[in-house]
Amino acid sequence: MQLFILRHGKAEPMPGNDAARALTERGRKQVAQVCKKRSQELSAVRAIWASPLVRTQQTADIVSAHLGLPIVTEPLLIGDRDPQQLLDLLQQQENFPILLVSHQPLVGRLLNGLCGTGDQHSMGTSSLACVSSEVWADGCADLDWLQHAD
């Protein structure tokens, strides 16, 4: 099974309400570029899950328009959540590949935890990773590839 992990695009500076931060124009372009570069791989995605925060919803909208899939808003994808709760939810799913759109530190902890790589793989804004596993648990996945924005 494959899982795609996408960090939201570059967002506005924090005006006081982190949840309301929107993508910058550069952020939108970088997300679109990453989707275009990995369009063949992303064509297999069957579901898009996104954090409820504005910048991740906007990022997911870009991918959704590209893939023609609806977005499922998942509160477990808020950046400071425990990855184990998300892994438990993924274990119950059958509709893979799933694309997760989220924030730091969750995306980094999820990717490196699944692959058992400490903090080896960085997830900058608009970074997209693909991992494969039969079981969604720490140290059980292989990194297929990691695409960073230009």
Single pTM value for the model:
0.96
Is-cis flag, bond preceding 13, omega within 30? no
Q: Are 101 and 59 in contact (CB under 8 A)?
A: yes
What pLDDT is stored for residue 17 in this prediction?
81
d(CA 115, CA 101): 18
pLDDT tens, residue by residue, 20-29: 899 999 999 9
What pLDDT is stored for residue 34 in this prediction?
97
Sheet holding 47-50, edge to edge: 71-73, 47-50, 98-102, 2-7, 128-132, 142-147
| Residue 7 β-bridge partners | 102
pLDDT tens, residue by residue, 63-115: 999 999 999 999 999 988 899 999 999 999 999 999 999 999 999 999 999 99
Residue 145, number of CB atoms within 10 A of its CB? 10
Residue 40, number of CB atoms within 10 A of its CB? 7
What pLDDT is stored for residue 150 in this prediction?
85
Q: Mean pLDDT, the chain, as a whole number?
A: 95
pLDDT at 15 over 80: no
Q: Sketch out the chain's domains with CATH numbers.
A: 2-8+22-147 (3.40.50.1240)
